[in-house]
């Protein structure tokens, strides 16, 4: 991070820690204090100051002192110290201890003006952080079964995972985006049989087929298989299979066609999924095949590693509490000692037919991640996988001897509405609304910004909260629509800059030139409040990244938009606060610096979301 990349919260925390170190050196505090929970944050009430710290409250128990007494001691140690943030150097702050032991800090306006200059100098890179220290992070998301096009729930997971990856990258982590293709097991066999049925329909519809096959053979071919996947997309795939292979597979035993048709089906479905992801602006660094992992012996290797640790045994599970599932039986099974790592019960690794369970395959996949050097693992799953979290976290702990950590983000359902009426299914998918249907409809309603609207709205709620998505509401132009409200703030800032071009030259309006404007003339409480909010962007990035919560960015952007719209409205009512002040070009340039900083910070936040800021609405 360059000197200009100011982070007032981090910069003041360094001053605070230096003061605490000096108190230790002076024997005023004992050595070995745990400072990790010492934080510098905005106070809950802005009237209390610009910054606040819990240092005395956190350390009081360790030093066995009254928090208020310790707060007074720390306040005295901070007096006269120099703060370095952006291009500001000086002791422009005052500290006050308040009960029960907090420290409130008030900063000189010059400190805030330095933050504003830092934003203009950094551009949309403002907020970039080194807190991640280039630590490698594997973010696996979407990983939809390759059985058809993506639905809206997959879309939410795609947006959450993609935004989280971008957020971590901005915070200084080395991020690897990954998609796990579940291309082994019963669901892809069912897909193959469904495609074969559609393929038989195509063959039976050919005039020449009636000459080659009896009506009884043709009729027998048109019996839907068990677990049939409906939807128009399989008809398209069937026509492609027929174009490639003709009647090669028609009326052949399943053992002959199942493998080739399954391979074709998976390829076609993954092509659909990749197209859907591209429409949403989501990309991956790697697609990992479950089948390839099994073929490579990865399952055997992972379970051998667990066996070496004494974590696999043969046993009989206790019956589940409550009503017994129909498929439960008190039989000896190959079990993983998941209870040693926080799970409720030990988990089966083999089915009754001797094949591996899905869990065994997932163990192998996460073991593979660990062997590739990842210690920080994040999985974004649908809410229906909630019961799977503890067992997978237990497996990661066991396989890595506690070196790796798995955080699972569960995405709750998205309920679709149009003007308050539920939207239930798609003709193309047959049973659900496809992601592409939603994006296409949003493109029509929002002028080809459909993916941006969808992405932003998916991040306006925490991932574990149900989200209601109404086409009418998310495309209306009102302050109740967060997409419009934030984008309108950026467009309004761009409009101000266009009008400014009629008064000032292009050189005078460059970011570098605006950074040299007399920012000391920005003294109105609303102006300073907006600068304080913009200056909190680096802290928001770091906090959201460490918590794995990209939705915090949406809340922050809405706060910035609200504060900017408030200042604009006040300027409309009070001529002295207008951004463009006739007869006072220096004040105009100072205020334009603030307007430009608003646009840069909003653009920086939208970039994390994968959303393009608009200049006109």
Q: Using one digit for the tens of pLDDT, what is the confidence trace for 83-109?
A: 999 999 999 999 999 999 999 999 999
Q: Is residue 563 part of a domain?
A: yes
Banded model confidence at residue 416, pLDDT cuts 50, 70, 90: very high
Q: Average pLDDT in the 48-77 region?
A: 96
In a domain, 22, yes or no: yes
In a domain? residue 425? no
Domain final residue, candidates 279, 307, 335: 279
- Residue 415 CA to residue 424 CA, distance in Å, equals 9
Q: Are residues 100 and 195 in the same domain?
A: no
The pLDDT mean for the chain works out to 93
Whether the predicted pLDDT of 57 surpasses 90: yes
User: Residue 206: its pLDDT value, please?
Assistant: 85
430 vs 232: CA distance, rounded Å: 7
Q: Which domain-ending residue is among 107, 126, 141?
A: 107
| Same domain flag for 598 and 490 | yes
Mean pLDDT of 7-16: 96
What is the pLDDT, as a whole number, of residue 616?
Answer: 93
> What is the number of structural domains in the chain?
3
Note whether 580 and 489 are same-domain residues.
Answer: yes
Q: Is the peptide bond before 558 cis (omega within 30 degrees of 0)?
A: no
Residue 153 lies in a domain: no
* Assigned token pair, 210: 């009636």
pLDDT value of residue 1: 39
Domain extent for 208: 186-279
Residues contacting residue 444 through CB under 8 Å, at least 6 positions apart: 450
What CA–CA distance (Å, rounded) separates 257 from 153? 33
Least confident range from 118-127, 158-167, 234-243, 439-448: namely 439-448
As beta bridge partners, residue 417 has 422, 470
pLDDT number for residue 583: 87
* Per-residue pLDDT tens digits for 187-202: 999 999 999 999 998 9
How far apart CA 46 and CA 56 sit, in angstroms, is 20
The stretch 425-453 carries a mean pLDDT of 85
448: left (phi over 0), alpha (psi -120 to 50) or beta: left
Reported as half-sphere exposure (CB side, CA atoms, 13 A), residue 115 has a value of: 30
For the stretch 364-411, pLDDT in tens is 999 999 999 999 999 999 999 999 999 999 999 999 999 999 999 999
> Within a domain: residue 130?
no
Residue 520 located in a structural domain = yes
Q: Cβ neighbours of residue 240 under 8 Å, at least 6 residues apart?
A: 268
> Do 12 and 99 belong together in one domain?
yes
Do the domain assignments include residue 292? no
Q: How many residues does the chain have?
A: 617
Q: Quick one: tokens of 340? A: 């040693």
* CATH code (residue 587): 1.10.730.10
- Are the C-beta atoms of residues 72 and 55 closer than 8 Å to each other? no
**More confident site: 235 or 448:** 235
Residue finishing a domain among 264, 279, 294: 279
Q: What is the CATH number of the domain that holds 89?
A: 3.30.1360.70
Q: Which residues pair with 380 in a beta bridge?
A: 409
* Region 198-223 average pLDDT: 74
499 and 603 share one domain = yes
Query: What pLDDT is attached to residue 2?
Result: 45
Question: Residue 319's pLDDT is what?
Answer: 79
Alpha helices in 468-583 (DSSP H): 471-475, 482-500, 511-515, 525-535, 537-547, 551-573
Among the residue ranges 284-288, 327-331, 557-561, the one predicted with the least confidence is 327-331
Q: What is the DSSP string of 321-361?
A: SSSPPTT-----EEEE-GGGGT-SS-EE-B-TTSPBPHHHH
Average pLDDT on 301-328 reads 84
Instruction: Examine the pLDDT at 470 and tell me if it is beyond 90.
Output: yes
Q: What's the CA gap between 133 and 131, in Å, rounded?
A: 5
**Does pLDDT of 211 surpass 60?**
no
412 pLDDT above the threshold of 60? yes
* pLDDT winner (highest mean) among 163-172, 223-232, 422-431: 163-172
- The answer to the question of residue 298 being in a domain is no
In this structure, the answer to whether residues 204 and 92 fall within a common structural domain is no
How far apart are the C-alpha atoms of 368 and 600, rounded to whole Å?
40
- pLDDT of the residue at 39: 96
- Could you tell me what percent of the chain has a pLDDT over 90? 82
Instruction: Give residue-wise pLDDT tens across range 526-584.
Output: 999 999 999 999 999 999 999 999 999 999 999 999 999 999 999 988 988 999 998 89
């Amino acid at each position: 991070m360059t000197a200009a990349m100011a982070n007032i919260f981090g910069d003041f925390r360094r001053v605070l820690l230096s003061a605490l170190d000096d108190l230790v050196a002076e024997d005023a505090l004992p050595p070995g204090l745990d400072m990790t929970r010492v934080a510098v944050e905005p106070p809950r009430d802005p009237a209390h100051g610009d910054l606040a710290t819990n240092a005395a409250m956190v350390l009081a128990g360790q030093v066995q002192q009254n928090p208020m007494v310790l707060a007074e001691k720390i306040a005295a140690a901070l007096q006269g110290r120099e703060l370095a943030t952006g291009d500001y150097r000086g002791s422009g702050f005052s500290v006050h201890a308040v009960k029960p032991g907090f420290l409130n800090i008030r900063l000189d306006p010059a400190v805030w003006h330095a933050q504003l200059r830092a934003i203009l100098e950094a551009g949309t890179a403002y907020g970039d952080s080194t807190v991640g220290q280039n630590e490698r992070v594997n973010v696996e998301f979407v990983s939809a079964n390759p059985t058809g096009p993506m639905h809206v729930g997959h879309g939410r997971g795609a947006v959450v995972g993609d935004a989280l990856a971008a957020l971590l990258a901005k915070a200084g982590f080395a991020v690897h985006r990954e998609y796990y293709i579940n291309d082994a097991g019963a669901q892809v066999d069912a897909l193959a049989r469904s495609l074969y049925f559609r393929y038989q329909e195509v063959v039976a519809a050919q005039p020449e087929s009636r000459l080659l096959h009896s009506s009884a053979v043709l009729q027998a071919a048109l019996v839907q298989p068990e677990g049939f996947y409906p939807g128009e997309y399989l008809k398209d795939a069937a026509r492609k299979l027929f174009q490639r292979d003709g009647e090669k597979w028609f009326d052949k035993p399943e053992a002959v066609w199942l493998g080739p048709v399954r391979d074709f089906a998976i390829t076609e479905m993954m092509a659909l999924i990749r197209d859907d992801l591209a429409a949403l602006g989501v990309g991956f660094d790697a697609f990992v095949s479950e089948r390839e992992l099994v073929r490579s012996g990865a399952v055997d290797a992972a379970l051998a590693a667990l066996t070496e640790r004494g974590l696999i045994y043969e046993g009989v599970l206790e019956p589940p509490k409550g009503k017994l599932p129909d498929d439960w039986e008190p039989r000896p099974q190959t079990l993983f000692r998941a209870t040693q790592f926080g799970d409720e019960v030990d988990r089966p690794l083999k089915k009754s037919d001797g094949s591996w369970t899905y869990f065994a395959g997932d163990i192998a996949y996460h073991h593979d991640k660990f062997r590739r050097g990842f210690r920080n693992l994040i999985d974004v799953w649908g809410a229906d996988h909630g019961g799977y979290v503890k067992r997978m976290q237990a497996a990661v702990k066991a396989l890595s001897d506690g070196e790796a950590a798995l955080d699972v983000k569960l995405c709750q359902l998205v309920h679709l509405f149009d003007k308050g009426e539920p939207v239930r299914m798609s003709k193309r998918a047959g049973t659900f609304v496809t992601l592409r249907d939603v994006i296409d409809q949003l493109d029509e309603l929002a002028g080809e910004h459909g993916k941006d609207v969808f992405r932003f709205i998916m991040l306006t709620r925490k991932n574990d909260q149900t989200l209601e998505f109404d086409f009418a509401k998310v495309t209306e132009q009102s302050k109740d629509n967060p997409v419009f409200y934030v984008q309108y703030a950026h467009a309004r800032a761009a409009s101000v800059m266009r009008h400014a071009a009629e008064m000032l030259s292009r050189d005078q309006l460059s970011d570098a030139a605006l950074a040299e404007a007399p920012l000391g003339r920005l003294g109105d409480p609303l102006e300073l409040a907006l600068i304080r909010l913009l200056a909190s962007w680096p802290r928001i990035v770091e906090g959201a990244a460490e918590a794995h919560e990209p939705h915090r960015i949406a809340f922050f952007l809405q706060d910035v938009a609200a504060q900017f719209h408030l200042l604009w409205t006040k300027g409309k009512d009070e001529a002295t606060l207008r951004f463009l002040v006739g007869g006072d070009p220096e004040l105009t340039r100072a205020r334009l610096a603030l307007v430009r900083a608003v646009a840069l910070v909003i653009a920086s936040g939208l970039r994390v979301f994968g959303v393009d800021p608009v200049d006109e609405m």
